[in-house]
Chains A and B, each alone.
Chain A
Amino acid sequence: MTTTEIPLLDVQDLTVEFSTRNGTVAAVRKVNISVAKGETVAIVGESGSGKSVTSYAVMRILDRAGRIASGSIVFSGIGLQSAPESSMRELRGREISMIFQNPRAALNPIRTVGHQIEDVLIRHAQATSQTAKAKAIQMLRLVRINDPEARYHAYPFELSGGMCQRIVIAIALACQPRLLIADEPTTGLDVTTQKAVMDLVMELTRQRAMSTILITHDLGMAAQYCDRVVVMEKGVVVETATAREIFRSPQHPYTRKLMQATPRPGIAIRDLLPEDTETAASAPVRPPAPEASAPILSVRDLVKEYPRSGGAFAWPWRRAELLDQTVVRAVGGISFNVGAGESVGLVGESGCGKSTTSAMVMRLIDPTSGSITFEGQDIAGIPARSFATHPLRPRLQLVFQDPTDSLNPRFTAARAIADPLYRLGGITRADEARERVEALARDVGLPLDLLDRFPHQLSGGQKARVGIARAIALSPRLLILDEPTAALDVSVQAVVLNLLVDLKSALGMSYLFVSHDLHVVRLLCDRVIVMKGGRIVEEGNAETIMTVPRDAYTRELIAAAPHPPI
């Protein structure tokens, strides 16, 4: 891209401050970003880097505590930092529009999607109430919604996450804006959907010669779709370069660290960490799986069915009718083994039944049929409600996907870790529990002074460590990891994955690693099971599956993951 022409958006020395209980905090400091006409710029950074705040400042939608302290934002000759609210309202949606992170939250749940597209068209006088419907349907067709005339009347809850994001894109592009800001547009979407959505956004914006700012934490995606990459750390731009340059010769140490932490083909798990990190080098990273030994977990023909509609109080003569209705098969008869000390990956997209499977194995929900043999005992028949006090409970534990949601907001970290010790560990004295909790905190690398904090006072990575400490408190034999790093930044993910490997070799556990990300699974697991639609489509050695996938779906999964050109 040439830099001589006047940029469409020019952000100079932008500083954004937030007033908090402890005084003002600068979330963004002296940031310079310019976007030329037709250019696609990625702002890459981890949580807290200020990348979203920068874009909110451009849109002037900072919340009440935040304000633009200094600097200028010039959009095609207009100074946005001091523009009156009335002209900002004209610009938003008309000239600059935004795609938000969570499409479901961005859509009004009680209006049909067609009306929501019409709203923005009519607001900016791009259509009258007579022509709006036709234009809305045209937009739906543009974002490749099948059967747009019917979908026009759909409510957001009737559409999948990917479809909702397409609607949000349709709303954003309806008025032909000149600048599109996409704030993590594919977080929470499956890799194949992510690829489809990103391809669509890029195609539409290129067609219209629009400028795009893509805000993402994923370096691979930034490299694949953008001309230039701006790397932000803690509110400061640390590096700006073209996508090619930044991957070939990253200048700033933070960029290098980010790049290193991104899981990619052909590297070992230790490679994710910066070179100077000390690891338990003596421990073999991947002990050979003892193939011959009896499996610790053996699942046979496991099925979970949900009734399609559950009217608790139906008319008596309709009961039979309701029972007759077809059921939804979340898991349709799967069988697999996990050997002692083995790591098995369970991979698939949302709705494939992998979480249901792990919840059944974990005995949190009851299977419809099939057997789950754990340490030689069939536990499928024990009701989930009474398994909490079963002697096998301590030996079968889970690390949750969302570290925030899985910690009781009213329990301190120490109390959360101590809970299993009191309930199942036979510990009754407070000092005894404290001693054990501190030992566990040291195992997972959680600083001891954080133990008395509440979850909301901890960072994502710290919360993940608390969750892991709680799960290993009872020295389980099998630990199910339900996307334990999905909510974490890449550099934190790198540390947590390495922690899991160290813990496994130290404690001799087996892992069942549930994830949608094949690249992450490959790093941690010996064997991979790929699920689709409640069934296993492929199973085998992790390296083999990654390099020579047999099933078409597995190939699609591998291809859809963004590839950083490293």
Chain B
Amino acid sequence: MLARNEKATASPTTSTAARKNETLRHVRHVIVSNPATLLAFSLLVVILLAAILGPALVPYDPLETNPSRPLQSPSWSHWFGTDQLGRDVFSRVIAAARLDLAISVAAVAISFVLGSMLGSLAGYFGGWVDTVVGRLCDTIMAFPLFVLAMGIVAALGNTIENIVYATAIINLPFYARMACAEVSVRRDAGFVQAARLTGNTDWRILAMHIFPNALPPMMVQVSLNLGWAILNAAGLSFIGLGVRPPTPEWGIMVAEGANYIISGEWWLALFPGLALMIAVFTFNLLGDGLRDIVDPQRRT
């Protein structure tokens, strides 16, 4: 934090540097003032590091089998033990972070962009646009969402892209509805009328004036959704759709490990399950902090 701050102060143009500095100070204030947010951001950094650097740092190749040491309990050489093929569980849990995070971020990005676009249009223009978008959301929500995702993956084919699409589609209504509500309450606000008077077209008003004001609550949704998306991807893999073995992925590891719990090899399922839990917990906790960061009213 400090290092970034100093860098910002050192940049040449004074006005933008001051602005950047202010933003950084605000971010730091939001993170430090609330212990829960501080914890969430620290965990996020750990998860991101695992996703980015994980495969380079882990002690063993996550795919390397070792027939001489199957199903070993946690020890100094294998922190999380080994699985039935002698693969190091710790290495696999860390390596899986990249795939799980990539799936959820991609899925949430797609549903955020598409959902907020559809929702904003519906909220701003109302009328038939609103009706069409509203009914589309109702149709998606009418299915049990996980079953819908299963159906989509089963129909489109068992690939990682299709997991992303399925997760994006089932999350789309949440963004569309939220954007619609947030935009429609601001549609007749004074500053929107003022923007019209100063020569902004409808599209510009929507994009530059209304949508940015709808961002803070959307950020909470994004963060919560990242957690759901990870669970969803893991769930699909757990039931055998989506990611296939031997690729390291938390859901699949829990599924495979579940067979061994009865025979006493608990570590196979526990550690990927814990990783999953921590990831979901982090994203759920992150929401409020993210909202405070994107909301200018919190800067005093």
Contacts and interface: CB of A to CB of B under 8 A. Distances in A.
A544 B204 CA distance: 47
Interface stretch (B76-84, B161-169, B188-196, B222-230): B188-196
Contacts of A364: 193, 196-197
A406 B198 contact: no
B198 A408 contact: no
Contacts of B204: 423
Contact of A420 (B191, B198, B299, B300): B198
B297 A419 contact: no
Given A409-B191, A410-B212, 11 more contacts: A385-B202, A400-B193, A408-B191, A408-B195, A409-B296, A409-B297, A419-B195, A419-B198, A420-B197, A457-B299, A471-B197
A406 B194 contact: yes
23 contacts: A313-B131, A362-B197, A364-B193, A364-B196, A364-B197, A388-B197, A400-B193, A406-B193, A407-B191, A408-B191, A409-B213, A409-B297, A410-B213, A410-B296, A419-B198, A420-B197, A420-B199, A423-B198, A452-B19, A454-B297, A454-B299, A456-B297, A470-B198
A454 B131 CA distance: 36
Q: Which 5 A-B pairs have the closest CB atoms?
A: A406-B190, A423-B199, A405-B190, A420-B198, A424-B199
B12 interface: no
Given A312-B127, A454-B299, A408 B197 contact: no
B201 interface: yes
A390 B232 CA distance: 51
A400 B194 contact: yes
B209 interface: yes
Interface in B28-42: none
Interface of A: 20-22, 312-313, 362, 364, 385, 388-389, 393-394, 397-398, 400-402, 405-411, 419-420, 423-424, 452, 454, 456-457, 467, 470-471, 473-474
Contacts, number: 81
A397 B297 contact: no
Nearest to B15: A452
B200 interface: yes
B194 A407 contact: yes
A87 B199 CA distance: 58
A406 B186 CA distance: 11
Interface in B171-196: 189-191, 193-196
A406 B131 contact: no
Nearest to B29: A21
Contacts of A420: 197-199
B199 A405 contact: no
Given A312-B131, A313-B131, A410-B213, A405 B189 contact: yes
Contacts of B194: 398, 400, 406-408, 467, 470
A388 B297 contact: no
A424 B190 contact: no
Contacts of B127: 312
B297 A423 contact: no
Contacts of B209: 408
Contact of B200 (A405, A419, A467): A419
Contacts of A419: 195, 198, 200
A467 B194 CA distance: 9
B296 A388 contact: no
A398 B191 CA distance: 12
Contacts of B196: 364, 388
Contacts of B199: 388-389, 393-394, 420, 423-424
Interface string B198-222: 1111101000010011000000000
A48 to B, nearest CB: 16
A400 B296 contact: no
A362 B193 CA distance: 10
B124 to A, nearest CB: 12
Contacts of A393: 197, 199
B299 A408 contact: no
Nearest to B209: A408
B197 A405 contact: no
